[in-house]
């Protein structure tokens, strides 16, 4: 780790940041720095570091680049604080966008509070709040000679929740325990139809998705999983 004051270009960086302070806020400068760092990482000019140590913004960038490697575009939603949303590739089924939440930690697995954050994002993007307020229902036409079936509430814009975890941080992938997500968290993910996976599983899938057929298989595996996603 480079100590403050020892970086050769620190004076140049400080001068550049000072030049921005008159016209930009603290958050503006942070956002600009994040964008530039992301661009450098995407071009390969900036290394993110070892995968088993990645957390925070570096981990989020790594995950987004892995999805981009599959040709799946992701963008930061403007209305919620989810990490990003992956749009449905042309012709892929099921056609639910992926709401991606990325976390890391020193523990073996995330806790239910982490999963609840994802639940909030999926709830909002799927339009469930609007459905409840407006009582949006699906009313299929009755068959001949039968009474009209009871209408069922539907999501106006269903999304699939995907939770990606990297941990325990600093532990090599091969040394991490095979049993990781707790029973309560597995039950929560299953009830919410969330796909939960570790970073190493995502990397393994991306490595084998060298054909369109394999990418479709991965997409369907994500969509069909309610709990922990299996390795390829």
Residue 130's alpha-carbon distances to 80, 84, 151, 173, in angstroms, are 15, 22, 17, 42
Within a domain: 186 = yes
- Among residues 161, 159, 169, the alpha carbon closest in space to that of 199 is found at 169
Residue 92's pLDDT band (cuts 50, 70, 90): very high
- β-pair type (98-104, 84-86): antiparallel
What is the CATH classification number for the domain harbouring 164? 3.40.91.30
Query: pTM of the entire structure?
Result: 0.82
Query: How confident is the model at residue 154, as a pLDDT?
Result: 57
Does any domain span residue 161?
yes
**Average of per-residue pLDDT values in the chain:** 86
**In-domain check, residue 120:** yes
In a domain, 105, yes or no: yes
What is the span of the domain harbouring residue 99? Answer: 50-228
Does 229 or 144 have the greater pLDDT score? 229
Residue 17 lies in a domain: no
Choice between 156 and 72, residue whose per-residue pLDDT is larger = 72
Predicted local confidence at residue 11, as pLDDT: 83
Residues 44-81 have pLDDT tens digits of 898 999 999 999 999 999 999 999 999 998 888 777 77
- Structural domain count, the chain: 1
Is 70 among the domain residues? yes
Helix (H, G, I), strand (E, B) or coil at 25: coil
- What are the backbone dihedrals phi and psi of residue 95, each rounded to the nearest 5 degrees, phi first? -100, 45
């Amino acid at each position: 780790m480079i100590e403050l004051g020892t970086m050769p270009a620190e004076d140049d960086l400080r001068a550049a940041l000072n030049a921005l302070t008159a016209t930009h806020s603290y958050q503006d400068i942070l956002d600009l720095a994040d964008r530039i760092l992301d661009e450098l990482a995407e071009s390969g000019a900036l290394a993110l570091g070892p995968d088993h140590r990645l957390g925070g913004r570096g981990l989020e960038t790594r995950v987004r680049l892995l999805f981009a490697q599959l040709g799946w575009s992701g963008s930061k939603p403007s209305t919620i604080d989810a990490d990003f949303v992956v749009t449905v590739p042309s012709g892929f089924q099921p056609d639910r966008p992926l709401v991606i939440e990325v976390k890391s930690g020193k523990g073996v697995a995330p806790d239910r509070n982490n999963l609840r954050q994802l639940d909030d994002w999926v709830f909002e993007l799927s339009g469930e709040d609007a459905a409840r307020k407006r009582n949006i229902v699906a009313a299929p036409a009755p068959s001949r000679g039968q009474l009209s079936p009871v209408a069922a509430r539907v999501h106006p814009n269903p999304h699939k929740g995907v939770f990606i975890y990297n941990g325990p941080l600093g532990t090599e992938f091969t040394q991490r325990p095979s049993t990781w997500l707790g029973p309560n968290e597995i039950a929560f993910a299953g009830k919410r139809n969330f796909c939960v996976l570790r970073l190493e599983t995502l990397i393994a899938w991306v490595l084998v998705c060298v054909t369109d057929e394999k990418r479709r298989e991965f997409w369907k595996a994500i969509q069909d999983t309610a709990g922990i996603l299996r390795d390829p």
